[in-house]
């Protein structure tokens, strides 16, 4: 694994067992998260982005299970760790921030106790006073006055609670924070401030952040690179400027054109016809083929590889792979 | 005790005309806060209240899309409910097509309701899970149009086709859980429009939908507006979406209106510091347009004890001493463009 990669997902498949059959919510997905980057993971409901985020911490229980793949985090394959070893990674090395902080925080526990408990669970040798001091320093850094540590979650605003969630992740100096729709329940001004905070933390602590969101604008605002998922597959990954300026996958192209842009003069939004497929019976070939404006005959039978188009810009689309194959045939 | 009201200027924003469908005049809605017997004794009978809507005046013209935007707790949804007559105003009035809603008997109000409909955010919460789609849409038809079974069915099938749920016969017998979220919102739209209303209050109608579905729903709403001669009150927190649909827009903060005017004017020449911040905060789906401006300090204060003077003054970058004392009235700064800020001229430059 190259030194600049913090987390390398290889051929990950996550399945849900349902009464109607097995649903592959993440299907043979590979993804690299680089050290110190903010990677935006976008896609619509049901594309598998949250399932992927949870799988990175092996958080699946119940009907969901990891059916295959490797999870290389900072030099080791998490799939090879036992269930008893996982808590040392979860919460400590990888932190998580969910959409609704109210369901992640204990309503009858003061904020301070959340923090000191987290710190002392993972570092039992730390004294109460030291844990408290670390907590105070941390929340002040995140823009919460230290007196407020004595409050309960319900006494804080949504934006404040989300800061508390981040502080819990940072209390143990996590290397990676997985933030799943962290700003979705926040108002725009609070959201903007939270995004500013993420950027500061990235700069100051060299924090690596996987930002899972349906909000394309949020990704454009803070991410260094962007990964686009469609129907349990990775559709496209690349530098945020490149992907937004020159999206390769027809799904990404349509998605970007259908997002309202307050800075654009254009009066019309692009209307992508159809809907994502039912993952119980995904279409053969490329999963986007029934909706794709550039569909070719081969797309209905052959599944595209997830391959580089230019440099580090990857896409699963036969448009580029077909051209390559033809070139090869010409030269071969 | 009555508070000082800068009414004279507020009324200016709602000059009555024959093209007006809805006139909202100095509307207030205060929700009393539950408190114990002892607390009310200590407060000497003064019950604290959430001032959800606190003196709002505007008009909605026939055939326009009037946007009402603001953050959570700004009072925008409460205004929508007051206009629909679903809530009684604490003060002020709503005039619908020349009729003061407050003066109507329940029976007249019920009949008037066929002319105003509502679309809420969550279609699953708006539809009865045990009612087929056909039954759900038949309901308003039977109440307001006809009781003849064949006729009811014909009307329902027609509207289902109009909202793009084809083949309509198939959708007629389906239950809400059997169709997708986008289709469910189409059902809600169909049910709202089947009585051919004049006014549709759309309260965050696309907020729950996925990006690609949103564009389709907006397009549908706008096509039906033309086809059926509708007027929309479009309530939203999303200023980017509002840009694509609204003719005029009002920005609310803590129960008051900060700015109202034609959409292009409010967006391009916004002269209230709060509107500025709100527009600046909207994430732009283009990494070349990353925000550089800092956001206003602090958070939205409580609507029980809003700051005196201008509600926005504690967070305002251009606030001066008088802003914490004098409440700014809504005044016309440019033709049809009203702003409630003492120093709006400075932002206009």
Using the Cβ of A269 and the Cβ atoms of chain B, whether some distance falls under 8 Å is answered with yes
Among B216, B267, B279, beta carbon nearest to A271 = B216
Q: Which residues contact A132 (CB under 8 A, 6 or more apart)?
A: A112, A116
Residue ranges of E strands in chain A: 5-18, 21-34, 38-42, 64-73, 76-77, 94-97, 176-180, 208-213, 225-230, 233-239, 307-310, 313-315
Q: What is the DSSP letter of A90?
A: B
For chain A, domains (ranges, CATH) are 5-93+172-331 (3.40.50.300)
| Res A319 pLDDT > 70 | yes
pLDDT digits (tens, 9 = 90+) for B9-18: 444 444 456 7
Whether A3 has a pLDDT exceeding 70, the answer reads: yes
Band (B5; pLDDT cuts 50, 70, 90): very low
Report pLDDT digits (tens) over A256-276: 999 999 998 877 899 998 889
Is A247 near chain B, with CB under 8 Å? no
Cβ-nearest to A217 among B285, B288, B299: B285
Token pair 């849409």 is found at B137
CB within 8 Å of chain A, chain B residues 118-157: none
Average pLDDT taken over every residue of chain A: 92
Most A-contacting residue of B166, B217, B286, B316 (CB-CB within 10 A), to test interface: B286
Query: pTM, whole model, 2 decimals?
Result: 0.90
pLDDT digits (tens, 9 = 90+) for B18-68: 789 999 999 999 998 876 666 666 766 677 899 999 999 999 999 999 999
Instruction: Sort out which chain B residues have CB atoms less than 8 A from A44's CB and list them.
Output: 210-212
Model pLDDT for residues B266-291, shown as the tens digit of each residue: 999 999 999 999 999 999 999 999 99
Q: pLDDT tier at A185 (50, 70, 90 boundaries)?
A: confident
Out of A159, A195, A254, closest to residue B299 by CB: A159
pLDDT at B43: 67
Provide the percentage of residues in chain A whose pLDDT is more than 70: 97
Report the SS3 class of residue A96. strand
Query: Does the structure show a pLDDT above 80 at A330?
Result: no
Do the chains contact at B244 and A217, CB–CB below 8 Å?
no
Give how far A152 is from chain B: nearest CA, Å. 18
Mean pLDDT of B109-125: 91
State the fold for domain B1-97+236-349. Answer: Rossmann fold (3.40.50)
Taking contacts as CB-CB distances below 8 angstroms, the residues of chain B near A191 are: 281, 283
What does the block give as tokens for B343? 């120093």
ipTM of model: 0.87
DSSP assignment of A148-199: GGGS-GGGS-HHHHHHHHHHHHHHTT-SEEEEESTTTTS-HHHHHHHHHHHH
Contact A271 B267 (CB under 8 A): no
Q: Does the structure show a pLDDT above 90 at A36? A: yes
């Amino acid at each position: 694994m190259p030194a600049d990669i913090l987390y390398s997902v290889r051929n990950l498949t996550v399945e849900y067992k349902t009464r109607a059959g097995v649903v592959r919510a993440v299907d043979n997905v590979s993804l690299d998260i680089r050290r110190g980057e903010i990677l935006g993971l976008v896609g619509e409901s049901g594309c598998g982005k949250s399932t992927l985020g949870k799988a990175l911490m092996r958080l699946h229980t119940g009907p969901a299970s990891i059916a295959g793949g490797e999870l290389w985090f900072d030099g080791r394959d998490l799939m090879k760790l036992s269930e008893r070893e996982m808590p040392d990674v979860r919460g400590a090395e990888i932190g998580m921030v969910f959409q609704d902080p109210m369901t992640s925080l204990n309503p009858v526990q003061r904020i301070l106790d959340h923090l000191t408990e987290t710190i002392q669970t993972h570092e039992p040798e730390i004294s109460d006073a030291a844990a408290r001091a670390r907590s105070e320093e941390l929340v002040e850094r995140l823009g919460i006055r230290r007196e407020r540590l004595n409050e309960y979650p319900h006494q804080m605003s949504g934006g404040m609670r989300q800061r508390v969630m981040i502080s819990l992740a940072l209390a143990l100096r996590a290397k990676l924070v997985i933030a799943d729709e962290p700003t979705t329940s926040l108002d725009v001004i609070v959201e903007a401030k939270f995004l500013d905070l993420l950027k500061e933390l990235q700069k100051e602590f060299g924090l690596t952040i996987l930002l899972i969101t349906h909000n394309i604008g949020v990704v454009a605002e803070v991410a260094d690179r962007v990964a686009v998922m469609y129907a349990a597959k990775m559709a496209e990954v690349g530098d945020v400027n490149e992907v937004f300026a020159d999206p390769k996958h027809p799904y990404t192209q349509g998605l970007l054109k259908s997002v309202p842009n307050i800075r654009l003069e254009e009066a019309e939004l692009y209307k992508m016809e159809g809907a994502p497929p039912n993952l119980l019976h995904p279409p053969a070939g490329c999963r986007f083929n029934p909706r794709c404006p550039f569909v070719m005959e081969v797309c209905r039978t052959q599944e595209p590889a997830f391959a580089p188009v230019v440099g580090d810009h990857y896409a699963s689309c036969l448009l580029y792979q077909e051209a390559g194959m033809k070139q090869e045939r010409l030269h071969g | 005790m009555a508070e000082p009201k800068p009414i004279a200027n507020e009324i200016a924003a709602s000059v009555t005309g024959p093209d007006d469908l809805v006139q909202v005049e100095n509307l207030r809605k205060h929700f009393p806060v539950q408190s114990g017997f002892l607390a009310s004794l200590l407060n000497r009978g003064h019950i604290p209240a959430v001032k959800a809507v606190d003196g709002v005046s505007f008009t909605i013209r026939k055939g326009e899309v009037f946007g009402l935007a603001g953050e959570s707790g700004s009072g925008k949804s409460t205004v929508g409910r007051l206009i629909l007559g679903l809530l009684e105003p604490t003060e002020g009035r709503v005039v619908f097509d020349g009729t003061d809603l407050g003066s109507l008997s329940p029976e007249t109000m019920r009949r008037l309701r066929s002319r105003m409909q509502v679309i809420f955010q969550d279609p699953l919460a708006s539809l009865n899970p045990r009612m087929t789609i056909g039954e759900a849409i038949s309901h308003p038809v039977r109440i307001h149009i006809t009781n003849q079974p064949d006729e009811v069915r014909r009307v329902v099938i027609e509207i289902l086709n109009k909202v793009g749920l084809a083949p309509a016969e198939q959708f007629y017998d389906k239950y809400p859980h059997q169709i997708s979220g986008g289709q469910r919102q189409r059902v809600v739209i169909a049910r709202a429009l089947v009585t051919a209303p004049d006014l549709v209050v759309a309260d965050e109608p696309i907020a729950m939908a996925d990006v690609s579905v949103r564009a389709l729903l907006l397009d549908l709403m706008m096509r039906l507006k033309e086809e059926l001669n509708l007027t929309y009150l479009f309530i939203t927190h999303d200023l980017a979406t509002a840009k694509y649909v609204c003719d005029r827009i009002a920005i609310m903060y803590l129960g008051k209106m900060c700015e109202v005017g034609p959409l292009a004017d409010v967006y391009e020449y916004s002269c209230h510091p709060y509107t500025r911040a709100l527009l600046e905060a909207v994430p732009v789906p283009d990494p070349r347009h990353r925000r550089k401006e800092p956001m206003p300090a602090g958070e939205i204060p409580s609507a029980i004890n809003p700051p005196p003077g201008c509600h926005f003054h504690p967070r305002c970058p251009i606030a001066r001493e008088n802003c914490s004392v004098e409440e700014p009235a809504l005044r016309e700064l440019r033709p049809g463009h009203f702003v409630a800020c003492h120093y709006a001229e400075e932002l206009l430059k």
